[in-house]
Chains A and B, each alone.
Chain A
Amino acid sequence: GQQVMQIPQYQHVQEGEDFTTYCNSSTTLSNIQWYKQRPGGHPVFLIQLVKSGEVKKQKRLTFQFGEAKKNSSLHITATQTTDVGTYFCAGGAGGTSYGKLTFGQGTILTVHP
């Protein structure tokens, strides 16, 4: 079955440093989504990427979808303490499994002030 891997598992940064998490799928994806989960909270949708090579920006966050639609990355510029949490990528298989998302294991981001 489809597997989605994320690295690194943990990332500790000083406030103001940049942060990047990478996501790789074992199969070609129809789309990829990114979610953020604060400690004790539930996943909150950040963005969905659909097109090969797509790049989207949200303020300090930049999301990329690989040309082969098998990998993705999330880059945060100049981290702030409010960025703390776990970032998950989730791959959509498409076809008859259109609604199914396969989540990566997440990257836990800690930001030291």
Chain B
Amino acid sequence: DTGVSQNPRHKITKRGQNVTFRCDPISEHNRLYWYRQTLGQGPEFLTYFQNEAQLEKSRLLSDRFSAERPKGSFSTLEIQRTEQGDSAMYLCASSLGQGFYNEQFFGPGTRLTVL
């Protein structure tokens, strides 16, 4: 399978715990994006990388969220001191980033439940 993969697919945690999610993009894609989606809403932009550089981070994102893409390949999203409001589907997407064309390929997501 050469699509975007995410692990784990489901995560249940207790409030206050830290969680980390991993995203493996399509191998030749230089751009990687993280989104959060709650029921009945569209994906909400969190951050994106071009290669290993984090180019933009949503102002809505608290300091408890951090993302890395150390070698410009896979990426991790960490949430510290989770809160019940963090419960959502966390989606990763990647794109080739050729000029103006920016088709994003989404992974299956990681569903986070904070108890």
Residues on A close to B: CB < 8 A? 1, 4, 6, 30-31, 33, 42-45, 48, 50, 88, 90, 92, 96-106
Contact = CB atoms under 8 A, between A and B. Distances in A.
A48 B108 contact: no
B89 to A, nearest CB: 9
Contacts of A50: 100
B59 A1 contact: yes
B26 interface: no
Interface residues of B, number: 28
A45 B100 contact: no
Given A43-B91, A99-B56, 19 more contacts: A31-B100, A33-B103, A33-B104, A42-B107, A42-B108, A42-B109, A43-B43, A43-B104, A43-B106, A45-B104, A45-B105, A90-B42, A99-B97, A99-B102, A100-B45, A101-B102, A101-B104, A104-B42, A105-B40
Contacts of B40: 105-106
A91 to B, nearest CB: 11
Interface of B: 31, 33, 35, 40-45, 48, 50, 55-56, 59, 91, 93, 95, 97, 100-109
B44 A100 contact: no
Contacts of B108: 42
Given A44-B106, A45-B103, A100 B56 contact: yes
Contacts, number: 66
Nearest to A30: B100
A104 B100 CA distance: 21
Pairs of residues from A and B, 8 with the lowest C-beta to C-beta distance, nearest first: A103-B42, A42-B106, A99-B48, A45-B103, A103-B43, A88-B42, A43-B106, A106-B42
Contacts of B43: 43, 88, 90, 101, 103
